[in-house]
Amino acid sequence: MENRPGRPVRLATVATATPPFQADQRQVEDFFIRHYSGRLSRRAIEVLGKFLAHPSIRSRHFAIDSPEGMLESDPDRRIERFTRWAVDLSAQAALEALARAGLEPREVRALVANTCTGYLCPGLTSYLIERLDLPRNIRTYDLVGTGCAGAVPNLQAAAEYLKTNGDDGVALSVSVEVCSATFHMEEDVSLLLSNALFGDGAAAAVLWTRPGGLELVASSCRHQPESREAIRYVYRQGQLHNQLSRKLPLIVNRAVADAVREVLEGQGLGVADIAHWALHSGGEDIITAIGRELGLPQEKLLPTRSTLARYGNLSSPSVLFTLREIMDNGLAPRDWCLMASFGAGLSAYALLLRAMA
């Protein structure tokens, strides 16, 4: 994505939403031991405890009414839970983002939504049109299959709509994941890690061509289909199971670095020129590996680590949670900000933004 002549596309506001049920990692461990100690080997319990004891995550939010909701295994009940919470959280984040921008839902001309933790047909956009009372002639785009990376290609699609139509319209970008709707407990290390890492939440961003916000300057992507098995969802007995390779930090850091360097070199910039970094909070090992590959000072990783500590890995909304923190803390005029997300595919995306003067 390169801005063509004309009014630049800007990201006006970002808002986030999490379900009210929150638990710290010790509470999660107690719950798992109480319900699964007789079903898992001692070794698996030890590995799970080690993951949960890592200090990088303090607490997570879960889209359940009570802890026992995690035990629900019926596929029909799970998709019902996904639908309820995905719509509720998306609508909450979207309304706050619009309010922050001083907009009414009727002013939105395009809606882009992404999720990977549940399948709906018609897509999530249909539910949001109804819930938010959006215009019935709105352009809608439902993105699937992008996994944790989904927020940045979502923003790319929203920006392309605004550039193509060239009007004073507004695009709404929504990322939501109910990771707990894909919960499974087995001996598989991928599942043990996932159960110690992922949380639930949604984020929404307003894009427009009006003054104010962060200009979307350029973007890039990297696809490595040969690494598909390293990070993906797989279907087993009709249900999603998360699959993560132990080699993922090494694979991801190179893909992200390639995407970042491409977008920076295209603007004649270097890593040192970027004041703010919003990376996907995929886990402490991955954050560390990406930071090392790019040569980032530790302080540049603080917002990303803050998101991980407070929410865990939220999958696709994570990077927008971090951007929200950066924006709330304030950017100086002309500051550069770099967003990077990565996920299933394997795919990596970079988006370069700049604060207005």
Write down the pTM of the prediction: 0.95
Domains and CATH numbers, the chain: 10-208 (3.40.47.10), 214-355 (3.40.47.10)
pLDDT for 3: 43
Closest to 278 measured CA to CA, from 241, 308, 247? 308
Give the tens place of pLDDT for each residue, 194-226: 999 999 999 999 999 999 999 999 999 999 999
Give the tens place of pLDDT for each residue, 318-351: 999 999 999 999 999 999 999 999 999 899 999 9
Give the tens place of pLDDT for each residue, 4-38: 446 899 999 999 999 999 999 999 999 999 999 98
Using the predicted structure, report yes or no on whether residue 296 has a pLDDT greater than 80. yes
Q: How many CA atoms lie within 13 A of 197 on its CB side?
A: 21
Q: Across the chain, what does the average pLDDT equal?
A: 94
Please give the Cα distance from 144 to 281 (Å, whole number): 20
**Among 234-238, 273-277, 353-357, which range has the highest average pLDDT?**
273-277
Using the predicted structure, report yes or no on whether residue 237 has a pLDDT greater than 80. no
